[in-house]
Amino acid sequence: MMIIDKLYERVLKNGPVCIGLDPREELLPEYLMKKDWSMGEKIFEFNKMIIDATLDECACFKPQIACYEAFGLDGMLAYSKTVQYIKSKNGISIGDVKRGDISSTAEMYGKGHFEGDFEADFITLNPYMGCDSISPYNKYFESGQKGAFVLIKTSNIGSEDFQESMVDGKELYLKVGSKIKTWGESFVGRSGFSALGGVVGLTYPEEFKKIKDECKGLFYLIPGYGAQGGNGKDAADMIGEEMCGIVSSSRGVIGAHKGINEGESFAECARQAVLDMKGDILKWL
């Protein structure tokens, strides 16, 4: 089974929630912070408990690599152990690495994040440098076992600076989306979706409608729920009855315990946050 089909089946079974594993020191529960462990050990234990508590109620997990790089080698060990643990539990991982560089460098990024210590099922990519910054990953997509989500219209306010620029009478983000659709046509699974999908922020629902009309058949990673202002109705409108995407939340899930439960059962709060988020989205479908 292609990884995009596995993800789509997981969405249909468990719902469209993607959990952002973006650990920060202030989000860890007090009981973990009191342990005489390295920060990397604390982070991995934090992630592990959240994964165990939510695996059956979410579609996938998305560790943001910057939150691990900030803690140096210890943090990167936690990142490696996290993606490997997700795989051991038959979960699906998205390495949120946002790589985008010339072909020779992209080849090494592919080797680094689709093989070895940091291997994930999907990664995120930045298309700013064009087709030859994406094509080196094609051999992984052709295998059916790997996929990527490429930035189209991101959730941050600054996305308006460039992504909404008009090029030949069309917004730049629409031209990017069309390119991604074309690049991904060779990697379509039985679900009808390509292993090469797009990233569109939940904070831009009107723009998403344009992208969806222009780029039929793309599967989307949709960040921005909760802390960034996105809501369940907009998410439901975006993914539609065809469930063409996953909706990501980080702080709203992994920080749900703060001020409520700082003990060993803190992950129960993450599970409830996922259930609440899923309910908030599905009730509109």
3-state secondary structure of 251: helix
Alpha-carbon distance of 128 to 262, in angstroms, equals 42
For the chain, what is the mean pLDDT? 96
Tokens representing residue 20 in the block: 């952002």
For residues 22 and 67, the answer to whether their CB atoms sit within 8 Å is: yes
Residues 99-125, mean pLDDT to the nearest whole number: 98
Q: What is the pLDDT of residue 229?
A: 77
For residues 245 and 16, the answer to whether their CB atoms sit within 8 Å is: yes
Task: Give me the active site residues, please.
Answer: 98
For residues 54 and 271, the answer to whether their CB atoms sit within 8 Å is: yes
pLDDT band per the 50, 70, 90 thresholds, residue 216: confident
pLDDT band per the 50, 70, 90 thresholds, residue 82: very high
Architecture of domain 3-282: Alpha-Beta Barrel (3.20)
Q: What is the pLDDT of residue 28?
A: 98
AA letter at 17: V
219-262 pLDDT tens trace: 999 999 987 778 999 999 999 999 999 999 999 999 999 999 99
Sign of CA dihedral 70, 246, 54, 271: positive
Comparing CA positions, the residue from 63, 68, 66 lying closest to residue 40 is: 68
Q: What is the pLDDT of residue 20?
A: 98
Comparing CA positions, the residue from 70, 116, 123 lying closest to residue 98 is: 123
Please state whether the predicted TM-score (pTM) of the whole model is above 0.95.
Answer: yes
Q: What is the pLDDT of residue 55?
A: 98
